[in-house]
């Protein structure tokens, strides 16, 4: 994977909203892997650096969600990237909070950022879907995705973002299954095993 895109809306008023979890994930990668500061390029915020010895580019479109494809398409054309070399991190209503799935291609499933990328770039890129849960009714979706994460959600949000940043070398190496598995383990570690009872020595009675 050569280009990793995080989707969101620009502006401080959207910074902590559920729809901006893609921006948050890219920011976490920048911090974890010591990338250069973002600069304005391709109608977005762009930076590049190395992850596990590989050159990687990061992009946060600043076109607002509904026109994300203009930014992604511009960057991909400039660097002559195939869709399979691009991963897009975005919020996913149809996954439970904190769950992560990775797939290549497919439909936009009502996500306007993906719909724009499909139209202006193609749809055979990788999608890193970060579950934010569903409010329960279609008419509540817009307000829900543009609402800040609540205080009680911040624990799983941080765990998932840290997991994405830590597991990024696997995504860059195109090990998407390994990436998803590692994020799941880091974000939801299994409970510790109970200690084994001491062995009983029949001969000594101890």
Question: Rounded to an integer, what distance in angstroms lies between the CA atom of residue 56 and that of residue 8?
Answer: 20
100-104/54-61 β-pairing? unpaired
The catalytic residue positions are 19
Rounded distance, CA 116 to CA 65, Å? Answer: 8
Rounded Cα gap, residues 51 and 168, in angstroms: 7
């Amino acid at each position: 994977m050569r280009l990793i895109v995080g989707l969101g809306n620009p502006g401080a008023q959207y910074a902590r909203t559920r729809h901006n979890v893609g921006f948050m994930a890219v920011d976490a990668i920048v911090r974890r892997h010591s990338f250069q500061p973002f600069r304005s390029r391709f109608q977005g915020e762009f930076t590049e650096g190395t992850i596990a010895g590989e050159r990687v580019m990061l992009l946060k479109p600043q076109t607002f969600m509904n026109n994300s494809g203009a930014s992604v398409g511009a960057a991909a054309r400039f660097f002559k990237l195939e869709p399979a070399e691009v991963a897009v991190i975005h919020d996913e209503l149809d996954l439970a909070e904190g769950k992560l799935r990775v797939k290549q291609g497919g439909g936009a499933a009502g996500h306007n950022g993906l719909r724009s990328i499909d139209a202006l770039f193609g749809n055979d890129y990788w999608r890193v879907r970060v579950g934010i849960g569903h409010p329960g009714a279609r008419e509540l979706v817009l307000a829900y995705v543009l609402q800040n994460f609540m205080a009680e959600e911040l624990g799983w949000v941080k765990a998932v973002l840290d997991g994405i940043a830590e597991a990024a070398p696997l995504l860059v190496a195109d090990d998407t299954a390994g990436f998803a598995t590692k994020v799941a383990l880091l974000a939801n570690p299994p409970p510790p095993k109970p200690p084994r009872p001491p062995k009983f020595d029949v001969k000594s009675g101890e």
